Chain A
Amino acid sequence: MTAIHTSVARKLMVVVMLSTLAALVVALGAMLAYDLRNYHRSWIADISTQAELLARTTAPALAFDDARVAKENLELLRLRPEISAAAIYNARGRLFASYAAAGEAQFPDLPEADGARVEGDDLVVFRRIVDHRDILGTVYLRTHYALYDRLLGYLGIAAVVMILAMLAAYALSQRMQRSVMRPLVAISEVAHQVASQRNYSLRAEKLSSDEVGMLADAFNAMLTDIGEATRELEAAKRAAEREVGERRRAEEEVLRLNAELEQRVKERTAQLEYTNGELESFCYTVSHDLRAPLRAIDGFSQALLEDFPKDVPEEAHRYLGRIRSSTLRMGQLIEDLLNLSRVSRTELVRRDIDVGEIARQVATDLHVRNATRAVEIVVWDDMPAQADARLLRAALENLMGNAWKFTGKVEQPRIEVGALRDGGRSTFFVRDNGAGFDMAYANKLFGAFQRLHSANEYAGTGIGLATVQRIVHRHGGRIWADAKPGKGAVFFFTLEPGEAVSAPPDTKEAQA
């Protein structure tokens, strides 16, 4: 910073000194040239005049050949000591009279033409002496030509003047510098402190009301702005840091909760899976083991009827018949339970299948088994799906079997199997125009052993829809129904995870 100070100061000094020097050189040079030219001209004019005067004065002396008078005339030049030598030549060019200030002098042998010329340090003037018509002679004057002395003298004075002026300029510029530089230095010192300490509360002192003063004001205003901006920035930074900290804590909390939740879900799932497995194996075992005694009951009931046709009274016959039908129903129940259990236990194998193909096979089976009834079964074409063929067949058997069953009291029974498509996904449906049901009980549809109709009205175990739901769920799909009592029912299901195709077909319209 002091380097800057001295450099600017030095520049200022150099500027002042150089301009002073330039002004002095130009002024002194001009004065010198003017004076020397003046001197030269006036000196020549002066000496020429002197020569002319001498010519006039000595004309009679020459005319009347009086060298003594001419000599006396020349002696008057003692009053002008700068004239070192003078002479009068007569008309024939012979030296007529002479004068030497120092006593001794050399004179030219012959006069020259009119004129003045500088000869070394001397000015030599020749002047014809003319009286009216005749050339009487020539005046010769030699004077000291002090141009060079004068020049030297002037140069000496100029040197002294320059030294004095430069000293004055130096002193002045030192003073000026102090007044100019002090405010600048003050500002630059503050700037330095601000830069090194990052202290924006410092202020430059305004020492003058000129541009430097304006600079100080502008600098201070800038410092204020920077200080405020820095404070705001720091506040914002602190706020942001706080916010980030809070967010990180919140995230950590969320992560922790998530981990906890996952852990809990995992534990619950494991528990549930374990419980489910236990239940299913229990169910399977029970169902399997129940079949043996049931077969024994049925077998021995039949044996009684066949082996003792006459010994068993009519009443007992009827009772035995009731026993056998009950065992049959129980067998069916066990079979269904085993199926349900099997659906859960068997492995899911997805393949490319045609739902329509399977539905048609199921329809054929239904027609074969119940040849007495005429039910119209419509199956749409081209309903591909990625599903387990065996499980899907079980599901369709249940759904279509239900439909077949619940259309038993309708004049023109009709079953329709189709699919709604949206891009690559399908929502399949099975629709009938049978008994239907009240949607108020829709939530009970898929529970095991839940029946909306009495067994007298429609035969069934109440396990079918539970099985269907389990199959659909195993495929990751959903199942739901839409129905009205006496107006038929529609069962929708999907075979893959995700939303079902919206806008299910209007059941009313389908039944119309």
Chain B
Amino acid sequence: MVALNLRVWAAAALLAGAGLAFAQADREVQVKAAFLYKFGDFVEWPANAFSGPDSTFFIGVAGDDALAAELERVTAGRTIQERKVVVRRLQRGEAPGQLHLLFVSQAEGGRLADILAALKGRPLLVVTESENALEQGSVINFVAVGDKLRFDVALPQAERARLKISARLLAVARKVVS
């Protein structure tokens, strides 16, 4: 009786912990997707970044399909810069093609330098979640502060990409590198 009870409790505790971990991961993806979507409102792209006034806003996601899926869900029926949004999942080694916003997950951290080198000078907002990513050429880098998601901004990189970042976004950034 007692042994059975213990097992039952143990199973329940395990299940509960897994559920909690799953919920936390899910929440993190949701927040990241929401942040990525919101960044579009606080950044100004140069006019030649788009082929026409009605051309699509492309978001590339490298190394995080869950996030890509969430991002698709968030942007469905919505616009960024008053343009239709298309999310592209970038496979390993694939050329990025035309993009306006690129998220490179931690899983792709090793390839970050290559990717950024390939995209250098293009009007592209690069968002990362790796340490020292800003030094490697990323514009915005997510940072976990406690249970909150924060981000740092590197203004020189943004300038090189000819992007104008709103002061209002800078106001909520954890750190701004200039």
Which stretch (A22-30, A56-64, A315-323, A325-333) binds chain B? A56-64
Q: Are B78 and A69 in contact (CB under 8 A)?
A: no
- One digit per residue, 1 when the CB lies within 8 angstroms of any chain B CB and 0 when it does not, for chain A 147-163 equals 00000000000000000
Question: Considering the complex, which residues of chain B in the window 119-160 have a beta carbon less than 8 Å from any beta carbon of chain A?
Answer: 148-151
Query: CB-CB < 8 A to A64: which residues of B?
Result: 35, 38, 151, 169, 172
Q: Are B171 and A63 in contact (CB under 8 A)?
A: no
User: In the bound complex, do residue B148 and residue A65 qualify as a contact, i.e. CB atoms below 8 Å apart?
Assistant: yes
The chain A residue sitting closest to B77, CB to CB, is: A133
Across the interface, which residues of B come within 8 angstroms of A69, CB to CB?
171-172
Q: Are B171 and A60 in contact (CB under 8 A)?
A: yes
Residues of B within 8 A of A65 (CB): 31, 148-149
CB distance from A353 to the nearest CB of B (A): 163
User: Hey, which chain A residues are within 8 Å of B41, CB to CB?
Assistant: 63, 131-132
Number of A-B contacts (CB under 8 A): 33
| Contact B172–A60 (Cβ < 8 Å) | yes
Within 8 A of B (CB), among A42-75: 56-57, 59-61, 63-66, 69
- For B79, the chain A residues whose CB sits under 8 A away are 133
Q: How far is the CA of A63 from the CA of B148 in the complex (A)?
A: 13
Q: Chain A residues with Cβ under 8 A from B38's Cβ?
A: 63-64, 131
Shortest distance from the beta carbon of B69 to any chain A beta carbon, whole Å: 20
Query: B149 contacts which chain A residues (CB < 8 A)?
Result: 65
**Least Cβ distance of A465 to chain B in Å?**
172
Q: Count of B residues near A, CB < 8 Å?
A: 17
Q: Which residue of B lies closest to A72 (CB)?
A: B171
Complex interface: chain B residues within 8 A of A60 (CB):
42, 166, 168-169, 171-172
CA separation between A66 and B151, bound complex, in Å?
A: 11
Over the window 268-279 of chain A, the binary record of Cβ atoms lying under 8 Å from chain B Cβ atoms (1 yes, 0 no) is: 000000000000
Closest B residue to A56 by beta carbon equals B168
- The residue on B at minimum CB distance from A59 is B168
Q: How far is the CB of A65 from chain B (nearest CB, A)?
A: 7
User: Are the CB atoms of B172 and A61 closer together than 8 Å?
Assistant: yes
Contact with A along B35-52 (1 / 0, CB 8 A): 100100110000000000
Identity of the chain B residue whose Cβ is nearest the Cβ of A67 in the assembled complex: B148
Question: Complex: how many Å from CA A133 to CA B38?
Answer: 11
Closest beta carbon of chain B to A64's beta carbon, Å: 5
A313 to B97, CA, bound (A): 236
Complex Cα spacing A131 to B171, Å: 16
Chain A residues lying within 8 Å of B150, measured Cβ to Cβ, are 66
What is the chain A residue whose CB lies nearest that of B35? Answer: A64
Closest A residue by C-beta to B148 = A65
- Of the candidates B31, B34, B38, B166, the one having the most CB atoms from chain A within 10 angstroms of its own CB is B38
Query: CB-CB < 8 A to B166: which residues of A?
Result: 60
User: Which single residue of chain B is at the shortest CB-CB distance from A69?
Assistant: B172
A223 to B172 Cα, complex, angstroms: 101
Contact residues in A for B172 (Cβ distance below 8 Å): 60-61, 63-64, 66, 69
B residues near A56, Cβ cutoff 8 Å? 168
Measured in the bound complex, the distance between the Cα atoms of B171 and A63 in whole Å is 12
In chain B between 14 and 56, which residues have their CB closer than 8 angstroms to a CB of chain A? 31, 34-35, 38, 41-42
Which chain B residues lie closer than 8 Å to A66 at the CB level?
A: 148, 150, 172
Smallest Cβ-Cβ distance to B79: which chain A residue = A133
**1/0 contact trace for A128-169 toward B, CB 8 Å?**
000111000000000000000000000000000000000000
- Measured CA separation A65–B149 after assembly (Å): 8
Chain A neighbourhood of B34, CB < 8 A: 63
* Closest residue of A by beta carbon distance from B40: A132
CA distance A332 to B151 in the complex (A): 199
A56-B168 Cα distance, complex, nearest whole Å = 9
A131 to B148, CA, bound (A): 22
A97 to chain B, nearest CB (A): 12
Shortest CB–CB separation between residue A127 and chain B, in angstroms? 17
Q: List B contacts of A131 (CB < 8 A).
A: 38, 41
Chain B residues contacting A132 (CB-CB under 8 Å) are 41
Q: What residue of chain A has the Cβ atom nearest to residue B173's Cβ?
A: A64
Known: A60-B166, A61-B171. 18 other contacts (CB 8 A): A57-B168, A60-B42, A60-B168, A60-B169, A61-B172, A63-B34, A63-B172, A64-B35, A64-B38, A64-B169, A64-B172, A65-B31, A65-B148, A66-B148, A69-B172, A131-B41, A133-B78, A133-B79
Which residues in A have some Cβ–Cβ distance to B below 8 Å? 56-57, 59-61, 63-66, 69, 131-133
CB pairs A–B below 8 angstroms (11 shown): A60-B168, A60-B172, A61-B172, A63-B34, A64-B35, A64-B151, A64-B169, A64-B172, A69-B171, A131-B41, A133-B79
Please name the 9 residue pairs, one residue from A and one from B, whose CB atoms are nearest each other, closest first: A63-B38, A60-B168, A60-B172, A66-B172, A64-B172, A69-B172, A61-B172, A60-B169, A132-B41
